[in-house]
Amino acid sequence: MHTPAVTPAADIRNPEVRVLSDAAKTFLSNQLWCRSVESVSLGWAIAGVLGVFLVRIVPDRPGIDDTLWVVVGDLPPAYLVYTGNPTWHDALESYVLEMERWVAAVRSGASLDDVIPVRTEPTEEHAEMLAGRLRFVRNEILASGDLSPGDA
């Protein structure tokens, strides 16, 4: 497995990024299929706003991925499999695409069964709020081409 450029959580100096790191760990720890979190590494962050972390877990059963990207911050938290997303940029792009599918389903009144789970009421208001944040991520972060680790 190719290891992307990440910063181990223990090396994160910015306290706001540490809070995001802790949120990523807690988010995965609360999943029923996660026995424990082995490590959390920063892929990229804007302190206090958004973080993309590479997390290695001990799954509670076979067939569960042990390496995941986790996106946390001023957006709904989500995990994405590492396979197919070798960099934080790829993971964040996948996150945006999946969340845009959720927004489209909410706007059209379609079933949410086949979209990424979002822990909020699927209302038009929430869909619009999320759509605005996703536009910012797409236009200001993903389009910038800056692949540095962010604000560690």
Which tokens in the block code for residue 92? Answer: 């964040």
Q: How does 114-145 read in b/e, with b if 16+ C-beta sit within 10 Å? A: ebbebeeebeeebbeebbebbeebeeebbeee
Query: For position 1, what pLDDT does the model report?
Result: 47
Structure-token pair, residue 110: 């379609």
pLDDT in tens, the chain (152 residues): 455 678 888 888 999 999 999 999 999 999 999 999 999 999 999 999 999 999 999 999 999 999 999 999 999 999 999 988 899 999 999 999 999 999 999 999 999 999 999 999 999 999 999 999 999 999 999 998 665 656 66
DSSP H/E element including 88: helix 88-108
pLDDT of residue 145: 66
Residues 6+ apart with CB under 8 A from 108: none
**Beta pairing class for 78-81 and 67-73:** antiparallel
32 CB-contact burial (10 Å; exposed 0-12 / middle 13-18 / buried 19+):
exposed
Task: Specify whether the backbone of 88 is left (phi greater than 0), alpha (psi in -120 to 50) or beta.
Answer: alpha
Single-letter code of the amino acid located at 106:
V
- pTM score, whole prediction: 0.91
